Chain A
C-alpha cells in the first residue's frame, strides 16, 4: 500500500499545477458561460428564436448538441456541454498517456518496475489519480453551476456526467498507451478518439428528429456510439436521468480490464502496435534539410489541415442562416461584437470562423519553429549542421515548411468553405468571400512564424512556452479583448487585432502589409543572430 501511496503522490506532485489550471479554467468557463447566457438570452422569446435557428441548421447542432427546449438551463446544456465533454476527454487522455506510455518511452517506468512492486501498481496509481481528477472535475462543474444560480439537482448531474465522460476517456488513454509504442502515437490515437466521439454525437444529433416547434431534437443512433453522446443523453436539468452514464462506466471498466490484461502479458517498453519498421532506404525527397523538415512535420500539418477543413465547411454551411432570418436576429449582434467585419450576416459568420482558421494557421506556424527547437534539443540538428548545411539555410527550411503549412491550412479552409457554401446553396460570392477571408489571415500567421523564430534564436529554451503562450494570449486579446472591455492598447498587442478587414464595405488591408514587413524584419534578424549563437541542447 505504501508503494501505491508514493506512486500516487508522485503523480499528484507532477500534475498539481497543470490539473489545477485545467479545473479552474473549466470551472471559469462554466460559470461565465452561464452568466453570459443569462445576460444575452434572458428572455424566453430570444431563446426560442435562437433554438429554431439552430435546429434549422445542422452545422450548429453538430457543434453544440441536441436542444432540449427553450428553458434557460436547457439552453446552457445545449450551448456548452458537448464542448466541456470534449475538454474533459482531452484532459483525461493526456493525463493517462503522460503517466503511462510517456513513462515507458523514456525508460523511467523501467526504474519503477525494477523495484519490488506488483506489475500493475503504476497503472493502478495512474487510474486512481485519474479517478480523483474526474471527481474533482465533477465537483468543480457542479459547484460552478450552482454558483451561477442553476438548479441544484441538474447541476450535480452535469458535473457527474462530465466526470463519467472523463472516466471513459481516461480508460481510452490507458488502452491507447498499451497499444502504441510512443506517447506521440498514443496521444494521437486517444485524442483522435475523443474528437471522433465528439463528431459521432454531432452527426447523430444533426440527423436527429426535430420536434414540430423546432425546440427539441431527439438524437439519432450515431450519438449512442459516443461517450459524450451518453453524457448528453442524461439531459441534465430536463430529463435529469443518470441511467445512460452506466454506459460510460461500463465502457471504462471494459477498457481498463483490457489494458490490465495486455499490461501483464507484455514486456516493459513494448506495445501491441508499432513494431517500428519501415523502408530500408530513403526516398529521393529525403535528401536535404528541407526534405527532412517536411518529413518531420507533414503528419501534424495534415492534422491542422483537417481542423481547418472542418471549420471552413462549418463556416460555409452557416451561410444558409442568413437566408433563414434577417440581420435582426440575436446571433448577428454577438458576431458583430466579435469581429466587426462583414456586411451581411453570412459574411459576419464567415469572418468569425476565419478568425479561428487564422488562429489554427498561426498555431501551425508556431509549431514549425518549435520543431526546429526540438531538433536542436534532442541533438539531431547537430547531425545535419555537421554536414555542409548552412545554419541560415537550416532555419529557413523549417520556416519554409511553416509557410507551406500556413498556406495549406488557409487554402483548405477556403476550399472547404466554398464547397459547403455551394452545397447548401448559400448566397452568391461565398467562395470569393472565403478566399478573401483566408488571405486576410496570412499576415498574422507569418508574423507569428518569424517572431517565434526570433525567440528560438535568442532564448532557445523558451521557444515552446513562449510560442504557445503568445499564441493563446494573442488569440484571447484579439478575439475577446473588445468583449471583456480591455483597453485598446492591450487589444492592439495582438497580431490578430490587425488582421486585414477583407469583407464588407470598409475593406482595409493596411494592417496586413505592416505585419508582413515586421515578419520580414524579425525573420532576417533571426537568421543573422542564429549565426552568432551556439547550437546546444540546453
Chain B
C-alpha cells in the first residue's frame, strides 16, 4: 500500500487561527508506522485542533498535513477508510442506544467480516463492561467514551486518532484500554494519542511530541527525552562545609533542607559527580532517577522559555526541577 513504509502522519508548519486566537502556530508533527505516538500538551495547546485538521474537519490557515501520504483535506474520504477516531469529548445521539451507535459507526467505516466484527464487539463490550442497550442520553461521560472506544476498536484500522481517550475512564478501565490498544498495535496499527497526563503517555507511548501554545517544543523517544531531564541527588549534610559542596562538578540548585543536602544534575553528567561524592564520604546517599514530569511541567509552566530552544532551556532552568519533583 502506498505510504506504508513511510511516515503515517506528517504535518509541517501548521497554522490555525480562530479570529485573533492562534490555536496552532507553526506546528510540526511526525508519526511513524507502528508507533504509539504520545501527543502531549496542556489544555488549550492545540491538540484537538491538530487532530481535527488531520481528519479534514478543519482547514488549516497555513501549512499542510498529510496522512498516509495523502492530503488530509482533499483525500479525506480515502484516508478515513483506514483510520478510527475517538473524539475528546464524546457526544452520542440521545435516542440511539450505545449498541446502535457502535453498529452505526462501524458500518460507516466498513465491516469486512461480520463474524469477526461480532466477536470483537462482544469481547470489547465485555472487557469495557458496557451495557449496549442504554440510550445515549443516559450514559455518563466515561460510558460515552467507552462507546466511542468500542466503535474504534471493533473494526481494525491502520491508524487510531485518539483525543484524550481516557479522560472519563476509571483506573481499572484505563488498564483495559491500554491492553486493548497494545493489541491493536500488535496487529499493525499506528496510534496518535493526545493527552495532558504524562503518566499515561509514559506507560503507553514509544515516542512523544510535546506541544505548547500551538507549537511542538519537544520530540523524541522516551529514552531521548529522559536524557534531557535532571537527576536529583541528596545526602546527609552532617560534617560538610560550603566549600565541599561548591566542589561538586555540574551540580545545580544546591540547597540544604532539614539536615540534608540536595542538588540536581544533568542525567548525562551524573557520573562526573559521583567520584567527588565518594571522596567526601557522604552518608545516606539517594539518587532519584529522572522523571519526564519535570521536563513536561517545565513546558507547561513557563512562558519565558518560549523564546529559547527547548534543549537549552532544560539546562538553564533547574529551579523548576524542584517544583516538578515535589509533585511526583
Q: Is B192 an interface residue (CB 8 A)?
A: no
Q: Is B87 an interface residue (CB 8 A)?
A: yes
A181 touches B137 (CB 8 A): yes
Within the complex, the shortest CB–CB distance from B39 to chain A, in Å, comes to: 17
Grouping DSSP codes into helix (H, G, I), strand (E, B) and loop, the A interface class, with mixed when no group exceeds half, is loop
Q: Is B108 an interface residue (CB 8 A)?
A: yes
B100 touches A534 (CB 8 A): no
Taking a contact as CB atoms closer than 8 A, the residue among B96, B104, B134 that contacts A277 in the complex is B134
A278-B133, A388-B80 are known contacts. Are A289 and B58 too (CB-CB below 8 A)?
no
Which partner residue on chain B sits nearest A532 by CB separation? Answer: B59
Q: Mark B85-97, 1 if CB is under 8 A from A, else 0.
A: 1010101111111
B104 touches A280 (CB 8 A): no
Q: Is B281 an interface residue (CB 8 A)?
A: no
B103 touches A288 (CB 8 A): no
Q: Which residues of B contact A292 (CB under 8 A)?
A: 93, 104
Q: Is A287 an interface residue (CB 8 A)?
A: yes
B109 touches A278 (CB 8 A): no
A281 touches B87 (CB 8 A): no
A276-B135, A380-B92 are known contacts. Are A287 and B104 too (CB-CB below 8 A)?
yes
A389 touches B100 (CB 8 A): no
Q: Is A20 an interface residue (CB 8 A)?
A: no
Which of A378, A383, A534 has most chain B Cβ within 10 Å?
A383
| Size range of the chain A interface in the assembly | 35 or more
Within 8 A of A (CB), among B64-119: 77-78, 80-81, 83, 85, 87, 89, 91-97, 99-100, 103-105, 107-110
Q: Which residues of B contact A277 (CB under 8 A)?
A: 97, 133-135
B108 touches A384 (CB 8 A): yes
B104 touches A286 (CB 8 A): yes
Taking a contact as CB atoms closer than 8 A, the residue among B57, B134, B137 that contacts A386 in the complex is B57
Within the complex, the shortest CB–CB distance from A298 to chain B, in Å, comes to: 10
Q: Which residues of A contact B100 (CB under 8 A)?
A: 278-279, 281-282, 286
Q: Which residues of B contact A184 (CB under 8 A)?
A: 94
A277-B97, A281-B103 are known contacts. Are A385 and B57 too (CB-CB below 8 A)?
yes
B97 touches A280 (CB 8 A): yes
In the complex, what distance in Å separates the CA atom of A292 from the CA atom of B107?
A: 12
Which partner residue on chain B sits nearest A283 by CB separation? Answer: B100
Q: Is B148 an interface residue (CB 8 A)?
A: yes
A282-B100, A288-B107, A534-B58 are known contacts. Are A388 and B78 too (CB-CB below 8 A)?
yes
Q: Is A535 an interface residue (CB 8 A)?
A: yes
A181-B137, A388-B78 are known contacts. Are A382 and B108 too (CB-CB below 8 A)?
no
Taking a contact as CB atoms closer than 8 A, the residue among B57, B89, B97, B105 that contacts A279 in the complex is B97
Q: Is B14 an interface residue (CB 8 A)?
A: no
Taking a contact as CB atoms closer than 8 A, the residue among A105, A276, A291, A390 that contacts B77 in the complex is A390
B78 touches A182 (CB 8 A): no
Q: Is A295 an interface residue (CB 8 A)?
A: yes
Chain A interface residues toward B at CB < 8 A = 105, 181-182, 184, 275-282, 286-289, 291-292, 295-296, 378-380, 382-390, 532-536
Chain B interface residues toward A at CB < 8 A = 52, 55, 57-59, 77-78, 80-81, 83, 85, 87, 89, 91-97, 99-100, 103-105, 107-110, 132-135, 137-138, 148, 161
Q: 4 tightest CB-CB pairs across the interface, nearest first?
A: A282-B103, A387-B108, A276-B135, A276-B138
Extra A-B contacts (10), CB below 8 Å, given A282-B107, A385-B55, A534-B59: A277-B133, A287-B103, A292-B93, A296-B93, A378-B91, A379-B89, A382-B55, A382-B57, A384-B108, A387-B80
